[in-house]
A and B are shown apart, each in its own frame.
Chain A
């Protein structure tokens, strides 16, 4: 099992008030799954993404990534896991504006302490994969929205991560460009990657093979094989709260 969450809760303190962002989520995700996490704002989907992405740790419960318990790691150990296992794609692209596309894609390699000589080779590889070789030396401001998101995807791929976590990846794109980006994810999935998509758009979530819906910090439904009849009908809830 790639990802295993059991009874994960997350409590934030806002002033004196305690907010239960996650009320006890249990979830298993296998390698090469293409999963969408849906839910209205405030449902806890961002929090869940942050926990899965090792940006945050659960207040209680257990989160195992490739069998390793993540909950009791410190900030630097989490950073190491993010470096090796997680590739993020954000709604707002989150590219560094002063760097070229190439340098943006190269950035995670610097932190994973990849050797300088192998870096360029890796970067060109993923730039090819997202079809941006000829735009590599341009800055984000010189790229279209779709191209920027491809650079972000290339950056997410560069360390060959276990999970690609995409948070509303088409949220800032027009529908045509958004569709192109979804095609890229499709390709990544076919190539064997595990993809977790966070979205509130039904038509975006439909690209995934499995849809998890969150409501008030709890999983309200977990449908598999939602995509087309070839994959079969829903396999029911996998809730184990």
Chain B
């Protein structure tokens, strides 16, 4: 402590220097304070308040952390799955649809038998569609048998052997990576030529060039003319484990009545509906159906598949999101609880702040920001946990879960909103405190 003499004289001088004398208010120091910098200050002071109670803050934000981890993890999972499903559907080919005996979706055994009794499609159906439907640009019949493919001592497991016409490559948008697709003359002459799926070629030939080599499809000898470009994986299952041979060859080797469906491609996106109608009409006429009779075939579009997928999965997602929401609500109530405690503990602080000029909304903002920051920190931790979780899921399971940029926005958005929502009641309680009572609070 300084001596009394020193302090007094020094202070008197200094007091004259600062020009005390009252009545000035604060005009000389007032100026526009940017809301952004003011906001930043409240965040900094909120962080300080949170740091003062580390353990309590950590425990409080745990609920939000779990909630955000759930939400972000779930959304990552959902979008990952949705994306690969969308990929799968689009592998059907852009603007393409299929005509089948059986509808997509669930049906019982009686219905199954009924569908099986429907007439098969013939290559004449395909030809008729190609000729009579102006909105259709390509149509290919498809027959599938399952065989092992062998070359020398190497053999695949049983995989799909797809019988199609050369138009299939236009219908499905499938690319030939190496060599070529088989041509119409080969198809017409029922040649034993084969285009291999990418992993099949790799498995049988390794580094060697398969083009021109012979393979056994079942026990029939086929010449390899091409290898398809890989389409990738879906749920850990390769989409490329198949081989393609001419449709006519399938008929010759395995019987003519194997036709299971027709793949049809519309001329453009706008003409998909027209193509659907024309195909339906053409087939109904060919089968001599009366207007009142139901069609005895099904047309399955990509949007139908997508819709079906969405219907199947919607409930699951709703339940998962619901669980996450409950976690967030519980977390939010935790925030509210701790903010109530904090407001009570800091009653005197609130009184002091009000005495020196804080308005209700200053106090409201302070506690809202504190709740939001507390909750937001939980959100950040939850996000980190979700990143870890999705990485673990993606590496341990075939589900292609991933966190995207907007997940980060979602995590922060959700957690901060929860903080603001549940912090509002305690904050408004703080804002309404009477300064005199608060200053007296022990």
Contact = CB atoms under 8 A, between A and B. Distances in A.
B3 to A, nearest CB: 10
B257 interface: no
Interface stretch (A128-136, A223-231, A233-241): A128-136
Contact of B357 (A50, A112, A188): A112
B152 interface: no
A88 B24 CA distance: 16
B133 to A, nearest CB: 73
Contacts of B11: 129-131, 183-184, 187
Nearest to A165: B355
A8 to B, nearest CB: 16
Nearest to A119: B29
A40 interface: no
Contacts of B359: 75-76, 79-80, 111
Contacts of A201: none
Contact of B25 (A115, A116, A126, A160): A160
Nearest to A90: B439
Contacts of B49: 98
Most buried by B among A80, A85, A109, A129: A129
A157 B29 CA distance: 13
Contacts of B28: 160
A125 B18 contact: yes
B22 A192 contact: yes
A114 B29 contact: yes
Contacts of B362: 111
Interface string B182-213: 00000000000000000000000000000000
Contacts of B352: 94-96
Interface stretch (B31-39, B158-166, B217-225, B422-430): B31-39
Contact of A192 (B8, B20, B353): B20
A211 interface: no
A138 interface: no
B436 A50 contact: yes
B260 interface: no
A110 B15 contact: no
B2 to A, nearest CB: 6
A2 B23 CA distance: 9
A144 B12 contact: no
A131 B18 CA distance: 13
A50 B439 CA distance: 11
A32 interface: yes
A191 B439 contact: no
Nearest to B48: A98
A205 B7 CA distance: 22
A128 B7 CA distance: 10
A95 to B, nearest CB: 8
A215 interface: no
A45 to B, nearest CB: 14
B30 A113 contact: yes
B10 interface: yes
A55 interface: yes
B23 A162 contact: yes
A23 to B, nearest CB: 19
Nearest to B16: A191
A157 B18 contact: yes
A188 B33 contact: no
A84 B26 contact: yes
Contacts of A27: none
B48 A188 contact: no
Interface string A99-114: 0000000011111111
Nearest to B31: A115
B110 to A, nearest CB: 76
A44 interface: no
B52 to A, nearest CB: 6
A173 to B, nearest CB: 12
Contacts of B357: 79-80, 82-84, 108, 111-112, 159
Contacts of B291: none
Given A96-B352, A98-B49, A115-B31, A191 B25 contact: no
Nearest to B49: A98
Contacts of A53: 355
A64 interface: no
B14 interface: yes
Contacts of B12: 187, 190-191
A116 B14 contact: no
Given A83-B356, A98-B48, A129-B15, A159 B29 contact: yes
A116 B37 contact: yes
Contacts of A79: 354, 357-360
A66 B23 contact: yes
A61 interface: no
B435 interface: yes
Interface in B64-97: none
B22 A162 contact: yes
A114 B31 contact: yes
Contacts of B23: 2, 31, 66, 85, 162
A75 B360 contact: yes
Nearest to B41: A110
Given A32-B22, A111-B359, A116-B37, A55 B29 contact: no
A146 B15 CA distance: 18
A62 interface: no
B24 A112 contact: no
B362 to A, nearest CB: 6
A175 interface: no
Contact of B17 (A2, A125, A157, A186): A125
A16 interface: no
12 contacts: A75-B359, A76-B361, A80-B359, A95-B352, A96-B352, A110-B41, A112-B26, A114-B30, A125-B17, A129-B18, A131-B7, A179-B4
Given A55-B439, A161-B25, 4 more contacts: A55-B436, A130-B11, A159-B29, A183-B7
